[in-house]
Amino acid sequence: MAKKCVVCEKVSRTGLQVSHSNIKTKRRWSPNLQRVKAIVDGTPQRVSICTRCLKAGKIQRAL
């Protein structure tokens, strides 16, 4: 399963880490994804959702 939020479609980003001496190395920023059971199209499913969408209540959790 890809590292992608099913609500906002947030994905991993790439960039450069810059040291004090201006040496650049590649790095990644991954979204904080959680596997939760949620109601999708009327049925409960396990989905990956970022914590920002989870906190905002953008998805209905299944019990």
Q: Domain containing 1 — which CATH number?
A: 2.30.170.40
pLDDT at 63: 81
List pLDDT tens digits, range 23-46: 999 999 999 999 999 999 999 999
Amino acid at 60: Q
| Number of domains into which the chain is organized | 1
Nearby residues of 23 by Cβ (< 8 Å), 6 or more positions away: none
Spell out the residues 6+ positions from residue 6 whose beta carbon is closer than 8 angstroms to its own: 40, 47, 48, 49, 59
pTM of the model: 0.78
What pLDDT is recorded for position 1?
62
Expressed as residue numbers, the domain containing 45 is 1-63
Could you tell me the two tokens for 3? 């590292």
Q: Across all residues in the chain, what is the average pLDDT?
A: 94
Task: Classify 48 as helix, strand or coil.
Answer: strand
Residue 36 near residue 45 (C-beta atoms within 8 A)? no
pLDDT of 19 higher than 90: yes
